[in-house]
């Protein structure tokens, strides 16, 4: 049986993942309004991934015989000073989420819950990829020096991203 401390932490992570989806949808709306359709697409796909993460963690809670609990999801910030600001905030947010995931992994080890530790280990690896992806995009934005042609190229590149559920079809 999963310990209450882990159920609480996992429920908080479900909330954090849904918040992340809200945040990326807000950023996507900003990018769309600023005529960065490709970047808007990349951020919308990111929001879909965050939703899949929330559902996956929710399912783990159920599979372990525990009850999910739900709390309010706070509204994300909706104003940005530009695309660079969006990706600076994206990187900062992913670093925050990495800390949350690390906390769950540490707690799972402390509680000797190897099933949850094994489960959350996928997210530890995922966060490395998430931070690297955001950092790479931010580096490209910084290297562009605001040059419209380079930003247009980046926007086109990010527009090719498609959503693929990392967990396959979920019931």
Written as tens digits, the pLDDT of the chain (171 aa) is 899 999 999 999 999 999 999 999 999 999 999 999 999 999 999 999 999 999 999 999 999 999 999 999 999 987 999 999 999 999 999 999 999 999 999 999 999 999 999 999 999 999 999 999 999 999 999 999 989 899 999 999 999 999 998 897 654
Nearest CA to 124 out of 102, 106, 91 is that of 102
Tally of CB atoms within 10 A around 151: 19
The token pair at 15 is 């909330």
User: Would you say residue 73 lies in a domain?
Assistant: yes
User: Would you say residue 150 lies in a domain?
Assistant: yes
User: Would you say residue 94 lies in a domain?
Assistant: yes
User: Would you say residue 164 lies in a domain?
Assistant: no
For residue 23, the enclosing domain spans 4-158
User: Would you say residue 166 lies in a domain?
Assistant: no
Contact between residue 90 and residue 44 where contact means Cβ atoms under 8 Å apart: no
Nearest CA to 119 out of 36, 71, 79, 62 is that of 62
Q: What predicted TM-score, i.e. pTM, was given to this entire model?
A: 0.94
User: Would you say residue 118 lies in a domain?
Assistant: yes
User: Would you say residue 168 lies in a domain?
Assistant: no
The token pair at 14 is 């479900």
Total count of domains within the chain:
1
CATH code of residue 138: 1.20.1260.10
Side-chain half-sphere of 140: how many Cα atoms within 13 Å? 19
User: Would you say residue 91 lies in a domain?
Assistant: yes
Which CA distances in Å does 7 have to 45, 59, 65, 144? 28, 12, 10, 45
Separation between Cα atoms, residue 171 and residue 169, nearest integer Å: 7
């Amino acid at each position: 049986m999963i310990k209450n401390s882990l159920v609480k932490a996992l429920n908080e992570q479900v909330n954090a993942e849904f918040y992340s989806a809200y945040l990326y949808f807000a950023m996507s709306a900003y990018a769309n309004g600023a005529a960065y359709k490709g970047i808007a697409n990349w951020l919308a796909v990111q929001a879909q991934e965050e939703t899949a993460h929330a559902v996956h963690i929710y399912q783990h809670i159920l599979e372990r015989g525990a009850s999910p609990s739900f709390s309010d999801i706070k509204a994300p910030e909706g104003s940005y000073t530009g695309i660079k600001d969006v990706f600076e905030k994206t990187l900062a947010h992913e670093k925050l989420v990495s800390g949350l995931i690390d906390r769950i992994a540490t707690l799972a080890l402390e509680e000797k819950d190897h099933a949850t530790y094994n489960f959350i280990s996928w997210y530890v690896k995922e966060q490395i990829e998430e931070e690297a992806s955001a950092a790479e995009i931010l580096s490209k934005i910084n290297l562009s020096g605001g040059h419209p042609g380079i930003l247009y190229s980046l926007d086109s590149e990010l527009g090719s991203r498609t959503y693929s559920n990392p967990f396959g079809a979920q019931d």
